[in-house]
Structure 1
Amino acid sequence: MRSCAARSIATGLMLTIPLLANSAAHRLDLPASVQQGALVIGHAEANASVQFDGRALHVGKDGTFVFGVGRDAPPKAQISVEYSDHSKRSVSLGVIKREYHIERVDGLPQHTVTPDPELSARIEREQAAVAETRKRDDEREDFLGGFELPIHGRISGVYGSQRIDNGTPKSAHMGLDVAAIEGTPIHAPAPGIVIFAATDLVLTGGTVLIDHGFGLSSSFLHMSKLDIKVGDHIERGQVIGNVGKTGRASGPHMHWGFNWFEQRLDPALLPGVQLK
């Protein structure tokens, strides 16, 4: 059960969303358009069935549903709803294309671009374990109170940017980086349950995933210390660990990623997050 305050905040968030479709008979509230990388919070009727691009979504007791549009999502997203009287409606949500920073770096030693087979195999295993964790799906609604920035500081990395090393495209940067002194406490952006915690991953070092319900999760990478363990219930603002530069990191910073299942979303676009 979430608190009355959380309910009020969630209601306030919903009221700020433009209505794409709303009728007295059957409710369907959505923004008219969203950016690539956005979390979308919609509202239908509590007993409705909602699908996003053919995928069934959880619908909360108050009709809330969520989904995410990825970094390279196409211009239209399809939302379909079936109500308790078996009537149906379908709407297309416009997705605004974003321009991402691309950095090309040539002349690097090739062994730094392509790791040896043994290390590559370990990286693949670790990434597969994290990806499997992101598939967790339950009906908790810890996200309804909105989110807050885990630490404040200089933004040193943005969502969607990408490097091309020696002509080889590297994975896009799927999160928000905030530069900070090593050891700075990191605070949970919203309540949730710890579903992954490891200290020594090759690429991401100290790594934590917190599940917020409905397929939404936060990822924290390169941490120097973890103060939580798998299964812990976390409150908003609780210290989960410290900023570090573990794994492949050029300096101490907080990396915050946000996920809707396999889709990697932009934390800067989350409701309640204010960048300074």
Structure 2
Amino acid sequence: MQGGYAIGRTAPLATLDIDGEIVGLASAAGWFVVGFDRDAPPVVTITVTTADGSASHEAVIAPGAFNIQSIDGLPADQVAPVDPILLARIAAEGERKAVGFNSVADLDAFRSGFILPVEGARRSARFGGQRILNGEPRRPHFGVDLAAPVGTAVRAPAGGQVVFAETGLHFEGGLILIDHGQGLITAYLHLSKVVVMAGDFVEQGQMIGAVGKEGRATGPHLCWRMKWRGRNLDPSLMVGANASRS
């Protein structure tokens, strides 16, 4: 479905092609993951190629059900910043985040399944909904919001490598990015505390930070996001996925 994924296995280091675009290689064990964007088309063709030939699969993509969410009372500079100094800061932060989002770690930790990063949280916003901020229509919300008290532990939902970890970002506050393999990146926004560093390898269930309300947030929660090679995915759909026995 839109915002969903496929996990597969082929020959080690086979070339992966999505709709005619080469996007990388399978892992050394042959595992690969494919993400379907929030606005993915009805059919996506997945092709793997080895020295012995190629094989394709047409994935039929079901449409997502995305709602509309209005948030009022945000400071103006959190909706449409105009100050040149602030804009320069946001641009610099964007460049650093882009490095993390472009990571392609040689891992396949995604195949063992995901857990929720915050236990006992209330889901306060779903993935993919249209956002209206202070009355202005904005881009869709590409995260799942998990409301919990400030200081609640945030744990790695799956193993991977930390590729970004900073505090004090304008929009995100404390932000961590984890690469679970082949560019499947999860993001953790608005953290009040970050307890890992870029380059660290984490295991499923390991504490990485704490819930906060930093950056563009009206209350304490974790905004949990997932991207795969520029495509925005719904991380909650990965909870319980387990291909490790295949």
Q: TM-score range by the shorter chain?
A: 0.7 to 0.9
How far the C-alpha of 1:99 sits from its partner, in A, is 2.6
How far the C-alpha of 1:255 sits from its partner, in A, is 1.4
Q: 1:36 — aligned with what?
A: 2
TM-score computed with the length of structure 2 as normaliser: 0.87
Of residues 115, 123, 136 in structure 1, which corresponds to 2:103? 136
Instruction: Find the residue that maps to 2:140 and give its secondary structure.
Output: coil
Matched to 1:73, the amino acid is A
How far the C-alpha of 1:212 sits from its partner, in A, is 1.1
Q: 1:11 — aligned with what?
A: none
User: Given the alignment of the two structures, is residue 77 of structure 1 paired with residue 61 of structure 2, yes or no?
Assistant: no
Q: Distance in 2 between matches of 1:49 and 1:112?
A: 42
TM-score computed with the length of structure 1 as normaliser: 0.78
How far the C-alpha of 1:199 sits from its partner, in A, is 0.6
How far the C-alpha of 1:108 sits from its partner, in A, is 9.2
Change in Cα spacing, 1:77 to 1:228, as seen in structure 2 (3 Å) is same
Deviations 1:130-183 (A, max 9, x none): 123111113212222111101122101110012234774312211111110111
Count of matched residue pairs: 238
Change in Cα spacing, 1:238 to 1:195, as seen in structure 2 (3 Å) is same
Per mean C-alpha deviation after superposition, the further-off stretch among 205-214 and 48-57 is 48-57
Q: Distance in 2 between matches of 1:151 and 1:81?
A: 36
**Structure 2 runs not aligned, ≥5 long:** 242-246
How far the C-alpha of 1:113 sits from its partner, in A, is 4.0
Q: 1:100 — aligned with what?
A: 66
Deviations 1:22-67 (A, max 9, x none): xxxxxxxxxxxxx100121122233643311212332134432111
Of residues 188, 193, 206 in structure 1, which corresponds to 2:174? 206
Q: Where in structure 2 are the equivalents of 1:160-239 lying within 5 Å?
A: 160-165=128-133, 168-239=136-207
TM-align CA RMSD: 2.4
Q: Distance in 2 between matches of 1:220 and 1:112?
A: 18
Change in Cα spacing, 1:243 to 1:113, as seen in structure 2 (3 Å) is closer
Matched to 2:52, the amino acid is D
Deviations 1:110-136 (A, max 9, x none): 776422232233223322321231111
Task: Give the structure with higher Rg (CA).
Answer: 1
Q: Distance in 1 between matches of 2:97 and 2:78?
A: 23
Q: 1:247 — aligned with what?
A: 215
Of residues 23, 38, 59 in structure 2, which corresponds to 1:56? 23
Higher RCO, Cα 8 Å, sep 6+:
2
Instruction: Find the residue that maps to 1:213 and give its secondary structure.
Output: coil
User: Given the alignment of the two structures, is residue 256 of structure 1 paired with residue 224 of structure 2, yes or no?
Assistant: yes
Percent identity reads 41
How far the C-alpha of 1:247 sits from its partner, in A, is 0.6
Q: 1:10 — aligned with what?
A: none
Whether the aligned pair in 2 keeps the contact of 1:258 and 1:266 (CA below 8 Å) is yes
